[in-house]
Chain A
Amino acid sequence: SQQGEEDPQALSIQEGENATMNCSYKTSINNLQWYRQNSGRGLVHLILIRSNEREKHSGRLRVTLDTSKKSSSLLITASRAADTASYFCATDNSGYSTLTFGKGTMLLVSP
């Protein structure tokens, strides 16, 4: 079953603006991962945050994790048109060996 829930479902911004996407989940996790998918293509792994971490950075990406609220956020700073894609969170759940993907956020960055 899909336990990750992203919001918003869709986000439209201008180039240069920041984009924030949120993910909530229900069970305890080992780590949470964010993936990007360009239209009709495979998913690309962006960043992984472990359950004992609170914040992680990678280039223009900033991920936070609040295990008490069972939520995570992905911030993309200074967005570019090339960031236009769907973004999925995926949880690596304690006791399981597979990822559970959220419903995704479609991000549109206009020039």
Chain B
Amino acid sequence: DTEVTQTPKHLVMGMTNKKSLKCEQHMGHRAMYWYKQKAKKPPELMFVYSYEKLSINESVPSRFSPECPNSSLLNLHLHALQPEDSALYLCASSQANGQRPNEQFFGPGTRLTVL
């Protein structure tokens, strides 16, 4: 199984809502990533988990809260978001952070709209 799955595909939420994005992979990868991508821009790294521990937080606002319950799952909890947080949120995984080659496998993304 070389697939990274993400749910939901689309999410519309108000600024007072709490929601979660989910990501799953069964490739035995030990590094997982969250990216944010605005239209016509490259992906921007948000968080990196390595062996289920948060290793990189790219100064992301606290209204985004990542969680890695186990080696296959990655969540992104959302609370009190702003309209400018509307974007495509991509999850990716790779063999292990620091091991090379480190090609990343991406999920299809969650299209988030904040009203």
User: For residues 13 through 49 of chain B, which have their beta carbon under 8 Å from a beta carbon of chain A?
Assistant: 33, 40-43, 45, 48
- Contact B106–A99 (Cβ < 8 Å): no
Number of A interface residues at 8 Å Cβ cutoff, please give it: 23
Instruction: Please indicate the chain B residues that have their CB under 8 angstroms from the CB of A2 in the complex.
Output: 42
B79 adjacent to chain A (CB < 8 Å): no
Among B85-104, those with CB < 8 Å from A are 88, 90, 92, 97-98, 100-104
Q: What chain B residues lie within 8 Å of A41 (beta carbons)? A: 108-109
In the complex where A31-B101, A92-B102 touch, is A42 in contact with B108 (Cβ < 8 A)? yes
| 8 A Cβ contacts from A4-38 to B | 30-31, 33, 35
Q: Which of B42, B98, B101 meets A88, CB within 8 Å?
A: B42
CB interface residues, B 41-73, toward A, < 8 Å: 41-43, 45, 48, 50, 55-56
Q: Is B74 an interface residue (CB 8 A)?
A: no
Expressed in whole angstroms, the minimum distance between the Cβ of B57 and any Cβ of chain A is: 12
Q: Is chain A's binding surface mostly helix, strand, loop or mixed? A: strand
Bits for A76-105, please: 1 = Cβ < 8 Å to B, else 0: 000000000000100010000111011110
Task: Verify B100–A30 contact, CB threshold 8 A.
Answer: yes
When distances are taken between beta carbons in the complex, the residues of chain A under 8 Å from B97 are 97-98
Q: In whole angstroms, what is the CA distance A40 to B37 when docked?
A: 10
Residue from A44, A88, A92 having most chain B Cβ neighbours under 10 A: A92
Decide: A92 and B109 in contact? CB cutoff 8 A. no
A97 and B33 CA atoms in complex are apart in Å by 12
Closest 6 CB pairs of A and B: A42-B106, A101-B42, A43-B106, A42-B108, A97-B98, A45-B103
